[in-house]
């Protein structure tokens, strides 16, 4: 089973920020990536729909013999990971906003979480807030519309910059010195977020801990691949024309991108 691929999915290109870390940490492994662009954004969709999509995508990845699955999406992790773990027996690794590291790093004792509505309204986030928000102010900012702008790929778009000002500046005004990127799309525009946040603000991107956790779980089950395979296959369910461009830009690869109808 060691030479079987690892499956990774997100609503769109956001999970590529996680895939990049996984390919860096585990260069031998083969990866299959699914971007569910036909149903993007997940952040404003119902729990039932996201759970259904996550189930269909995981079933597809298992039909491709994936030995582990990474839910490279905060929203889908928050809403669907428990059900996925109950239904499928391979290791399933999720992602959640880096609230704990942020509370450990802040000096102003105010942190800001940028995420989708789905993530911020979920139980997982409520639990994180309760656990770590005792003597730290945890501000949260639903970033409606930002994921679609990132998928569209025009980083000079005025509307994108307007949204960033609307989302980031109030957090700074309330004293946040640490911002958590609680959506996997946001690391793809980290330089822009950093520009509006300014040099004194720390920005936390959780893709490294996710890749580490995947490695840990594969090691534990003796599933790591010792020799190089490194085959990457990409699918999208919709028709985002920027998808291929993002893969080459983020990963420096000439991607094979297939269309997936599930
Ligand atoms: N990238 C995803 C996340 O981390 C999903 C964003 C969306 O589709 O709304 O939440």
Residues 6+ apart with CB under 8 A from 63: none
Is the pLDDT higher at 241 or at 93? 93
Whether the CB of 75 sits within 6 Å of ligand 1: yes
Output phi, psi for 159, to 5 deg: -65, -40
pLDDT > 90 in the chain, percent: 86
- Rounded Cα gap, residues 84 and 68, in angstroms: 12
Would you state the torsion angle of the CA atoms of residues 125, 102, 187, 147, taken in this order, to the nearest 10 degrees? 30
Q: Which of 58, 66, 73, 143 is an active site residue?
A: 73
Regarding the beta carbon of 23 and ligand 1, being less than 6 Å apart is answered: no
pLDDT of residue 259: 96
pLDDT score at 4: 96
Whether 73 is catalytic is yes
Packing angle of the helix pair 74-87, 123-132 (nearest 10 deg): 110
pLDDT 10s digits, 98-131? 999 999 999 999 999 999 999 999 999 999 999 9
Domains of the chain from N-terminus onward: 6-95+207-259 (3.40.50.1860), 99-204 (3.40.50.1860)
Residues 137-189: pLDDT tens digits? 999 999 999 999 999 998 999 999 999 999 999 999 999 999 999 999 999 99
116 CA → ligand 1 middle, Å: 6
Q: What is the mean pLDDT of the chain?
A: 95
pTM of the model: 0.95
Atom of ligand 1 nearest to the CA of 182: 4
> What letter does residue 215 receive in the DSSP assignment?
H
d(CA 150, CA 132): 30
With a cut of 90, say whether residue 84 has pLDDT above it.
yes
Which residue's CA lies nearest to atom 9 of ligand 1? Answer: 43
C-alpha 98: how far from its chain's center? 12
**Total Cβ atoms within 10 A of residue 192:** 17
Residue 229 has a pLDDT of 81
Q: Is 58 among the residues known to form the active site?
A: no
| Predicted local distance difference test score (pLDDT) of residue 126 | 95
Using the mean position of ligand 1's atoms as its centre, give its distance from the Cα of residue 41 in Å: 6
């Amino acid at each position: 089973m060691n030479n079987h691929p690892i499956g990774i999915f997100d609503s769109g290109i956001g999970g590529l920020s996680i895939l990049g870390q996984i390919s860096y940490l585990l260069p031998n492994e083969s990866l299959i990536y699914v971007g569910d662009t036909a149903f993007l954004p997940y952040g404003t969709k119902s729990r039932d729909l996201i759970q259904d999509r996550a189930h269909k995508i995981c079933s597809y990845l298992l039909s491709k013999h994936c030995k582990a699955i990474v839910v490279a999406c905060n929203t889908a992790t928050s809403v669907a990971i428990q059900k996925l773990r109950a239904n499928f027996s391979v290791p399933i690794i999720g992602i959640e906003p880096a609230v704990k590291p942020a509370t450990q790093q802040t000096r102003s004792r105010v942190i800001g979480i940028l995420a989708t509505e789905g993530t911020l309204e979920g139980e997982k986030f409520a639990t994180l807030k309760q656990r770590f928000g005792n003597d730290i102010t945890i501000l949260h900012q639903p970033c409606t519309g930002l994921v679609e702008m990132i998928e569209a790929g025009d980083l000079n778009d005025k509307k994108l910059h307007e949204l960033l000002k609307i989302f980031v500046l109030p957090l700074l005004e309330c004293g946040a010195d640490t911002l958590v990127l609680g959506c996997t799309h946001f690391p793809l525009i980290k330089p822009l977020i950093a520009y509006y946040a300014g040099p004194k603000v720390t920005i936390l991107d959780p893709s490294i801990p996710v890749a580490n956790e995947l490695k840990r779980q594969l090691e534990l089950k003796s599933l790591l691949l010792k020799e190089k395979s490194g085959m990457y296959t990409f699918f999208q369910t919709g028709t985002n024309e920027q998808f291929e461009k993002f893969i080459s830009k983020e990963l420096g690869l000439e991607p094979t991108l297939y269309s997936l109808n599930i």
